[in-house]
Amino acid sequence: MKKLLSLVLAMLMLLALIPASAETATTPTKTFRIVCPAGGDSNPPVSEWWIWKAYEKMTGIHIEWEEVPESALNDRKNLIMASTDKPDAFWHVSWSSEELARYGATGEFVNIAPYLDTSASNLKTLLTDEVKDGLKSITLDDGGIYGMPWVMTDKPQTNARFYLNKKWLKNAGLEVPTSIEELSKVFEVFKTTDVNGNGDANDEWPIYFQPDGIGMLQEMLCGSYGIGNNGFKPISEKYYLDANGKVQYLFTSEGMKKMWQQMADWYAKGYFYPETFGKYEYENWVTDGKVNDVVGMYGWGDAAFLYSDASQNYVGISALTGPDGDCVQSWCDYPVRGMGTFVITDACADPEALVKWADFFYSPEGTTFAAYGLEGETYHLDDNGQIVYNDSILNYDGGAQLGAWQDGLFVYGGSFPWRSYDSKTMEHARMQDVEGFTGERFSDYVADSDKYSAALLPGMIPTAEEASLVAPFLTDSETYVTEARMKFVTGEWNFDTDWDAYVKQLEAMGSNDYIAVKQAQYDRYLSK
């Protein structure tokens, strides 16, 4: 009786969170047209995803999904906005803060701020109670909120970790390193001894990154050199906050110079697998078995690697202490990601209804629905109260549960505006159908949160004028920095004789003006 009563109460709570019409809905009462990325050749159309069929029955709202190939979305989205046939909304389409500001100013993107207390109460509660400065992070300078974001509430997470070959460590009698200095000593042993045990001491390579992965390597090292993470990927953002809270340019910093010097030392000693600078694809590397016997360290915890047998031979390591004592896990995101994950256009006749439709997924109940579906239909509770997928889900021949596309860590809906479930739920939901994928291996996927010593900040929001001012610098400097990094690391350029000229060239391109703009954006953020 108690179990039955609990089930009834849970269902009543669920019904209270979805649109009122949904409680008895069996046929659609409203229809909206939403542009979204196409599922791809190997995935069913979005309209066939289980989650949307189930949600239509729950809400009485039918969605006409207009799928556009993801490769074409960036070019077509603005053409769609300029047309006379705009959709009601865009889902999972990448809109920059500049674009949100532009279309928000013209009224073409609906401002959802007026709906926070009524139809977007779950989002408001989430960004008020669980995420520091959450509402501020999605509010533009004009006070408007023109998109509904994807929110990670559990802890700062990253899969950008170093993975060391456990077999090689064991064979060499080495412990997992905790600093850059210790890691360098591990590389030296890997390079000079027969740690793979095949009788040849010259066929081991300490470091492998996928082609052009040297940029990824520097991203992951930032936190060890005092220039990482303030809640964004520092390399892509190109700025960081110094110890005094001032915005500084990343690529002329002393920390970047020291990092490149360390990478140059590793290169000079022959630690890099040659194809790091070639065209050997990562998938081939795994398929060919080189992951086990040729490479000592790999640097990226993607699904293809983690779900492979090869990952069993590797151990993920957390933030490493740098030469000046810095120890911050790099490549961590502020909890509010993709502020324009879901935007509503002025073509929508009933924006409040669509806001409410999306807001359900920011609730704990909506999160459970997105991750597991419906109790009885797609999952059940075991004797310990743990959610377990039904056999029909685990044994689905198509490999994507009930025809729903499995996107990244998200089982039923992919990346759409929602509150993401915590890491334990993510582990359980995603890994139930992956044989042997244990909690220990999952912990290798998500870096330890106790290493986050830097304040996590959202990306700074530029004005349209600021965006146009820095755009030429960002384009020109990207190419120059990439070329310069390779020349310094490979020894073509000398740090003692060429570094100052490199800095002056970036200043001539506009690095100081760029930082002035970023400082102004940061000051506005603090004043909100």
Same domain as 41, residue 137:
yes
Q: What average pLDDT score do residues 220-241 get? A: 77
Domain boundary among 419, 449, 480: 419
Instruction: Judge whether residue 399 has pLDDT over 70.
Output: no
Instruction: Judge whether residue 6 has pLDDT over 60.
Output: no
**Where residue 288 falls among pLDDT bands split at 50, 70, 90?**
low
Same domain as 514, residue 381:
no
Instruction: Judge whether residue 498 has pLDDT over 90.
Output: yes
Same domain as 8, residue 147:
yes
Q: For residue 176, give the amino acid letter.
A: V
Domain boundary among 362, 393, 419: 419
CA 526 to CA 224: how far, in whole Å?
26
Planar angle of CA 459, 110, 126, nearest 5 degrees = 55
**Ranges 60-69, 209-218, 373-382, 478-487: which has the least confidence:** 209-218
Q: Is residue 432 part of a domain?
A: no
Q: What is the 3-state secondary structure (H, E, C) of 55-93?
A: HHHHHCEEEEEEEECHHHHHHHHHHHHHCCCCCCEEECC
Tokens 């500001």 belong to residue = 101
Same domain as 31, residue 133:
yes
Domain boundary among 386, 419, 452: 419
Q: Is residue 249 part of a domain?
A: no
Same domain as 112, residue 12:
yes
pLDDT digits (tens, 9 = 90+) for 255-278: 999 999 999 999 999 998 876 665
pLDDT given at position 185: 97
Q: Is residue 44 part of a domain?
A: yes
Q: Beta-carbon neighbour count of residue 20 at 10 Å?
A: 12
- Name the residue among 204, 350, 324, 206 with its Cα closest to residue 265: 206
Same domain as 113, residue 28:
yes
**Where residue 25 falls among pLDDT bands split at 50, 70, 90?**
low
pLDDT digits (tens, 9 = 90+) for 403-422: 343 433 333 333 444 555 44
Instruction: Judge whether residue 9 has pLDDT over 80.
Output: no
Q: How many helices (H) and strands (E) does the chain have?
A: 22, 14
Q: Is residue 229 part of a domain?
A: no
Q: Is residue 333 part of a domain?
A: no
Number of domains in the chain: 2
CA 198 to CA 220: how far, in whole Å?
31
What CATH number is attached to the domain comprising 393? 3.40.190.10
What rounded mean pLDDT belongs to the chain?
78
Q: Is residue 510 part of a domain?
A: yes
162: Cβ–Cβ under 8 A, 6 or more apart, which residues?
A: 183, 220, 297, 298, 299, 316, 317, 320
- Name the residue among 469, 158, 129 with its Cα closest to residue 317: 158
Q: What average pLDDT score do residues 336-349 get? A: 88
295-298 vs 314-317, strand pairing mode: unpaired
343: Cβ–Cβ under 8 A, 6 or more apart, which residues?
A: 89, 90, 93, 95, 100, 103, 109, 110, 146, 147, 148
Regarding pTM above 0.85, the answer is no
Same domain as 412, residue 351:
yes
Same domain as 521, residue 390:
no
Domain residue limits at 486: 464-527
Same domain as 124, residue 17:
yes
**Where residue 286 falls among pLDDT bands split at 50, 70, 90?**
low
Same domain as 475, residue 399:
no
Same domain as 100, residue 46:
yes
Instruction: Judge whether residue 398 has pLDDT over 70.
Output: no
Q: Say what angle helices 364-372 and 50-59 make with each other, to 10 degrees.
A: 140
pLDDT given at position 109: 97
Q: Beta-carbon neighbour count of residue 524 at 10 Å?
A: 14
Q: What average pLDDT score do residues 11-36 get? A: 62
pLDDT given at position 187: 97
**Where residue 462 falls among pLDDT bands split at 50, 70, 90?**
confident
CA 386 to CA 400: how far, in whole Å?
22
Q: Is residue 190 part of a domain?
A: no
**Where residue 122 falls among pLDDT bands split at 50, 70, 90?**
very high
pLDDT given at position 416: 46
* Cα 122 off chain centre by: 22
Same domain as 406, residue 512:
no
Q: Is residue 129 part of a domain?
A: yes
Distances (CA, A) of 404 to 28, 51, 164: 21, 7, 35
CA 320 to CA 298: how far, in whole Å?
15
